[in-house]
Each structure stands twice: as structure tokens, then as C-alpha cells.
Amino acid sequence: MPDMYAIRPCTKADTQSKDTSTPQYTPNIIPCKIHHDGAIDSLDRYWAPVTDEKDNTQTSYFRGRKLRGRRVALPDGYRGVVATPTDRVLPSSQQVPNDDDEVVEVEPEEPVKILEMNGTFEDLVVWGHEALPAADDTFVKGVEEWLQFAEAMHATPAPVNGKEAAV
């Protein structure tokens, strides 16, 4: 069974300032593998995209290779979350019966792991080598399809011919 996660606000000591707003980010999905995970000292030294305001695209160079980026906005009502996994787990909400005479087999709950929210985003940029990613690019198409799937999955079924639809 896949892991279950709960997203919680960041609780690090450096976030105890008066400014409690969540930082806004723009994730970049680039067509290469970087063997580093975490912050870098000088982002501008390695990554400085230039935006073309006419068609809302971006151009940048990474290790001498030209990259072209297409901005993909999340639909209204959605937001992305930048999160970091933790070793913490949500406390179990399982109720134990008080009746000593009744023996009930209780299936153990899967632990719910906590992710710390570091920021949010409303759009992301998908990059391609030398050319803009096509509209049917895996990531561009994936955002649209997964959100449509999520909406369909969580929607209340509409009545059919005056009767409630079966679930």
C-alpha cells in the first residue's frame, strides 16, 4: 500500500518571525538530471532565465545548452505545494473498544507521514532543449489530466433521470 502523507506548515525556529506568509515559488522542470538536492549559494550564477513577455515563454542556458521554457498555470482553485519530508508521523486516531467482553480484531492503521510545507506555487515552467515543449509534453499534459482526474474522482455524482447516480 502506498504511503499516506499530511502537509503541515513549516515549524522550524527560523519561521517564528512576524512575517508568517508562505513563500511563493515557480518550480522548473528541466530536461536533465542534477545530482544535488537542496539550496545553493548563488542561484543567479547558474540560472538566469529571460522572459519573453509577448508569448510568456522563457529562455535560459544551463551548462552551455540552450533551454526554452513554457509556463504552465495551475487552474483556478488549485495551488501547488513545495514540501520536505520529515520523520514525524501523525498520531493514530484509532478508537479501542471499552467493552472487555467483546473481542474485536482491529486492522492496524497505516502511519500517516508528515510533510513540512516550505512554500506554494500557482504555476510551473516546463523546459525543453532548444525548443519549447509541445502541448502534448508529458508534464504539460500531465498537469491538466491529473487535475481533471482528481476533480472527477472527488465530484458528487449528478442525478440521472431524477434518480441519484450509483457510486
Residue 125 domain flag: yes
CATH of the domain at 130: 2.40.128.680
Residue 39 domain flag: no
- pLDDT at residue 96 greater than cutoff 80: no
Q: Please state which of the ranges 32-36, 97-101, 141-145, 155-159 shows the lowest mean pLDDT.
A: 97-101
Residue 68 domain flag: yes
Residue 100 domain flag: no
Residue 164 domain flag: no
Q: Which residues make Cβ contacts (< 8 Å) with residue 127, sequence separation at least 6? A: 28, 29, 30, 31, 58, 60, 67, 68, 69, 70, 133
Residue 133 domain flag: yes
Domain holding 130, by residue range, is 4-11+22-32+46-93+107-154
pLDDT at 105: 72
pLDDT at 102: 66
Please, which pLDDT band fits residue 56 given cuts at 50, 70 and 90?
confident
pLDDT at 49: 94
Is the C-alpha dihedral spanning 12, 13, 19, 25 positive or negative? negative
- The type of residue at 66 is K
Q: Please state which of the ranges 37-46, 75-84, 90-99 shows the lowest mean pLDDT.
A: 90-99
- Select the more confidently predicted residue: 16 or 108: 108
Percent of the chain with pLDDT over 90: 31
pLDDT at 148: 83
- pLDDT at residue 39 greater than cutoff 60: yes
Residue 27 domain flag: yes
- Select the more confidently predicted residue: 87 or 157: 87
Buried b (16+ CB within 10 A) or exposed e, 5-36: eeeeeeeeeeeeeeeeeeeebeebbbeeeeee
Number of domains in the chain: 1
Q: What is the mean pLDDT of residues 73-84?
A: 89
Q: What is the mean pLDDT of residues 48-70?
A: 91
Name the average pLDDT for the chain: 82
Residue 101 domain flag: no
